[in-house]
Homo-oligomer: A and B are copies of this chain.
Amino acid sequence: MTLVTLLDYTSVLVFAVTGALVASRAQLDLVGFAFIACLTALGGGTIRDLLLDRNPIFWIANPTYLGVAASAALVIFFTAHIFESRLRTLIWLDSFALAFAVAAGAGVALGLGHSPTIVVLMGMITGCMGGLMRDVVVGEVPLVLKQGELYITAAFAGAATASIAKIYLIETPLALLACACVTWVLRAGSLTFGWHLPVYKSTPPKS
């Protein structure tokens, strides 16, 4: 199993758990849990594969991914009440899933020999799109766009790290590890210490 495959599996597993937690907040049934879990877990990578014209899509080539996501949904359906705060659990698991998914997305693009710009974009898309679709479908404000938090920015910084590391001839596994670390540290720092970039503040127009 290559590192990219391992990253893909881990991000699928953890994103599926976040999807199932969102389903629990929406009080869906078991099949609804599995649906949202799969959409969240496989959505980002699916868009990446469609854009890069990778064929077949990763979970069609290897349906084990679907099994992983569905199993995660099943387990969460029966255990979600254990978590003291499902929202906090969701947000923190989402931060790990993001880190793995960004690295997996960047890894696929690096493996196909794409330019640094496309590597960065594919890392961001793989990391952010699954969670974005999860939140849009259930009608919540996307976590990805929460004001005053680093999310897309963390994905961008991580994917850029992989891209830059590769330019300096650092080996892919190390570059992807650095990518996941940078992404997670920025996201976790934002959640814990409130790190953020300045947001747009409207000022009155000049008179």
User: Do A121 and B66 form a contact, CB below 8 Å, given A138-B145, A145-B26, A145-B32?
Assistant: yes
User: Do A84 and B205 form a contact, CB below 8 Å, given A33-B200, A77-B200?
Assistant: yes
Tell me the number of copies of this protein.
3
B118 touches A29 (CB 8 A): no
Contact of A51 among B26, B46, B136, B138 (CB under 8 A): B46
Minimum distance in angstroms from A195 CB to a CB of chain B: 11
Taken together as a complex, chains A and B put the C-alpha atoms of A147 and B156 apart, in Å, by 36
Contact of A118 among B60, B83, B145 (CB under 8 A): B60
A32 touches B152 (CB 8 A): yes
Of the listed residues A29, A77, A114, A128, the one surrounded by the most CB atoms of chain B closer than 10 A to its CB is A29
Across the A-B interface, the 8 shortest Cβ-Cβ residue pairs: A29-B197, A31-B153, A63-B117, A81-B203, A24-B200, A84-B205, A29-B199, A35-B152
Taken together as a complex, chains A and B put the C-alpha atoms of A61 and B53 apart, in Å, by 12
Contact of A31 among B29, B53, B55, B197 (CB under 8 A): B197
Report A108-162 residues with CB < 8 Å from chain B CB.
114-115, 117-118, 121, 124, 128, 132, 136-139, 141-142, 145, 147-148, 152-153, 156
Minimum distance in angstroms from A114 CB to a CB of chain B: 8
Q: Which residues of B contact A141 (CB under 8 A)?
A: 139
7 A-B residue pairs with Cβ-Cβ distance under 8 Å, sorted by A, are A24-B200, A27-B199, A31-B197, A51-B57, A84-B205, A136-B136, A137-B145
Q: Which residues of B contact A115 (CB under 8 A)?
A: 63
A202 touches B118 (CB 8 A): no
A30 at the interface (CB under 8 A from B): yes
B55 touches A60 (CB 8 A): no
Taken together as a complex, chains A and B put the C-alpha atoms of A112 and B50 apart, in Å, by 19
In the complex, what residue of chain B is closest to A56 when comparing beta carbons? Answer: B53
B27 touches A147 (CB 8 A): yes
